Amino acid sequence: MTDLNGRTIAFLVAAEGIEQVELTEPWAAVEKAGGTPRLLSLESGEVQAFNHLDRGDTFPVDAVVSDADPASYDGLVLPGGVANPDALRMDEDAVAFIKEFVESGRPVAAICHAPWTLAEADVLRGRRLTSWPSLQTDLRNAGAEWVDEEVVVDGNLVTSRKPDDLPAFNDAMLELFAG
């Protein structure tokens, strides 16, 4: 079993539209591996997750991304949902946080629609990744090689397509975070 030895992992989400299972399953995997997950968002308070189009649970925010220092975290998880990454990519602080994180070489895990934020951060040129299929043109236009695979690891970046890929995504994510 992968041991994260108390590493702190940031989960960056918007105020709503997060695909709940893409937040909760990686979160639980990080905790089970001995890591400390922290929820970052655009504002303090709570975020609203969804089970596809139906409201799910709410989750308390640990820190606001505009106040967060990427160097304080050992890994970054970007959950999907359609509205979540769409809102994140419109927020300058979120995009700057992601860009600094990726460029620092620390590990980043993005699932489903979350690679939209990576495209916005302009960190995909020459990278190989996957996502929800509807993003492939956007990601190719951002300079990435898009492939339709369950999980793709390219350096410090791990990506997956959808909730069905979560077991493979979580395994690859933990391995990357364990370094």
Active-site residue identified among 38, 113, 161, 162: 113
C-beta of residue 11 within 8 angstroms of C-beta of residue 81: no
Phi first, then psi: what are they for 64, rounded to 5°? -90, 135
Helix ranges (DSSP H) in the chain? 20-32, 83-88, 92-104, 115-120, 136-141, 166-178
Tell me if residue 112 is catalytic.
Answer: yes
Reply yes or no on whether 113 is catalytic.
yes
Q: State how far the Cα of 40 lies from the Cα of 151, in Å rounded to an integer.
A: 24
- The DSSP element (H or E) to which 58 belongs, if any, is strand 54-60
Q: One of 112, 121, 129, 151 is an active-site residue; which one?
A: 112
Q: Point out the residues that are catalytic.
A: 112-113
